[in-house]
Amino acid sequence: MELRTLRYFVAVAEELHFGRAAARLHMSQPPLSRAIKALETELGAALLHRTSAGVTLTEAGAVLLDEARGLLDRADRVRARVAAAAGATALTVGILGDSADPDVVRLADAYRRRYPHVEVTVRETDLTDPTCGLHAGLVDVALTRGPFDPTGLSTHELRADPVGALLRADDPLVGRASLTPSELADRRWFRFPAGTDPAWQAYWNGGEPRRGPVVRTVRECRQAVLWNGTVGMTLAGHAPGEGLAVVPLAGLPPSPLLLAWPRTDPNPLVRSFVRTAVTAYGAS
């Protein structure tokens, strides 16, 4: 068994869908299907039940998933230790500014326990660069939010969070069970500067062109609402701060929390960070 094939299998087993697994692996579906079929032939056991609705694991598949995760984790540790011996002991992690998340603490603790020899540098970026410096080569891996231009990047979704409208606490719309972007069409929204990733700009503007003040940070977003009565989108679960309120927005997809890293994966420590993050967030 090759580690690459085991990674393919884990992706299918976690996604329970060949199409989503192929997209996650940045490959087409036919070679992925062939690789899994070859793995079943090699092991002499059916690993997946395939139906029109998707995929489920067989008993043998569930056993392999558990074993494969352990093998891949150990392989990543080997890479990290070899990298350390070769002098590659630093990892730069980009985090979207003010994206405080309790799961980050779990991730930091888990990574420190597994790789105490790795020095992690955190680079916080503002909301104008959702890749946190990946495209510019400033970080090795990013903990961020989509959507954005993924050219040259690999991504993995850790979680998806519902969004809401950020309003002044005395706004007449506060208290509503939910709102739609169309109900806020005549209001001024905070916007990001020209040149910000178009997909990112469109999502956080509720899918429509908006007019309003230009902001770069979460703090500036909140201040624009507090001082000017501007509105905008935020995470529904975030505490908005004094004088502000959040009303759930209906009809919009949730905000994906993503890991992103260069598809060429130049830093041998990146894979260890990605697997640790997937495990840490999966335990939340």
Contact 231, 167 (CB under 8 A): yes
Residue type, 120: V
The verdict on 193 and 235 lying in the same domain is yes
Domain extent at residue 190: 163-253
Domain CATH code at residue 117: 3.40.190.10
Residue type, 140: D
Report the mean per-residue pLDDT for the chain: 88
Q: Which of 30, 65, 86 is the last residue of a domain?
A: 86
Least confident of 84-88, 116-120, 161-165, 203-207: 84-88
The verdict on 154 and 33 lying in the same domain is no
The verdict on 192 and 203 lying in the same domain is yes
With the CA atoms of 245, 250, 252 and 253 taken in that order, what torsion angle do they form, in degrees rounded to the nearest 10?
Answer: 90
The verdict on 97 and 178 lying in the same domain is no
Q: Is the pLDDT assigned to residue 237 strictly greater than 80?
A: yes
Q: What is the mean pLDDT of residues 177-193?
A: 91
Q: What is the mean pLDDT of residues 209-227?
A: 91
What is the C-alpha separation between 104 and 84, in angstroms, rounded?
24
Question: Which is more confidently placed, 189 or 282?
Answer: 189
Listed residue (7, 24, 102, 3) closest to 259, CA to CA = 24
With the CA atoms of 167, 170, 175 and 177 taken in that order, what torsion angle do they form, in degrees rounded to the nearest 10?
Answer: -20
pLDDT at position 250: 92
pLDDT at position 283: 57
pLDDT at position 76: 72
The verdict on 117 and 191 lying in the same domain is no
Q: Which of 29, 59, 86 is the last residue of a domain?
A: 86
Three-state SS for 281? helix
The verdict on 170 and 218 lying in the same domain is yes
Number of structural domains (the chain) is: 3
Q: Is the pLDDT assigned to residue 273 strictly greater than 80?
A: yes
Q: Which of 36, 54, 86 is the last residue of a domain?
A: 86
The verdict on 58 and 115 lying in the same domain is no
The verdict on 124 and 195 lying in the same domain is no
The verdict on 182 and 249 lying in the same domain is yes
- The Cα-based distances of 271 to 47, 48, 76, 204, 264 in angstroms read 25, 26, 7, 30, 11
The verdict on 49 and 100 lying in the same domain is no
pLDDT at position 86: 63
pLDDT at position 83: 66
pLDDT at position 39: 93
User: Quick count: other Cβ atoms within 10 Å of Cβ 182?
Assistant: 10
What is the C-alpha separation between 44 and 39, in angstroms, rounded?
8
The verdict on 66 and 113 lying in the same domain is no
The verdict on 78 and 54 lying in the same domain is yes
pTM: 0.72
Q: What is the mean pLDDT of residues 230-243?
A: 89
Q: How confident is the model at residue 279 (pLDDT cuts 50, 70, 90)?
A: confident
Domain CATH code at residue 68: 1.10.10.10
pLDDT tens digits, one per residue of 61-109: 999 998 998 888 788 777 766 766 666 678 999 998 755 577 888 899 9
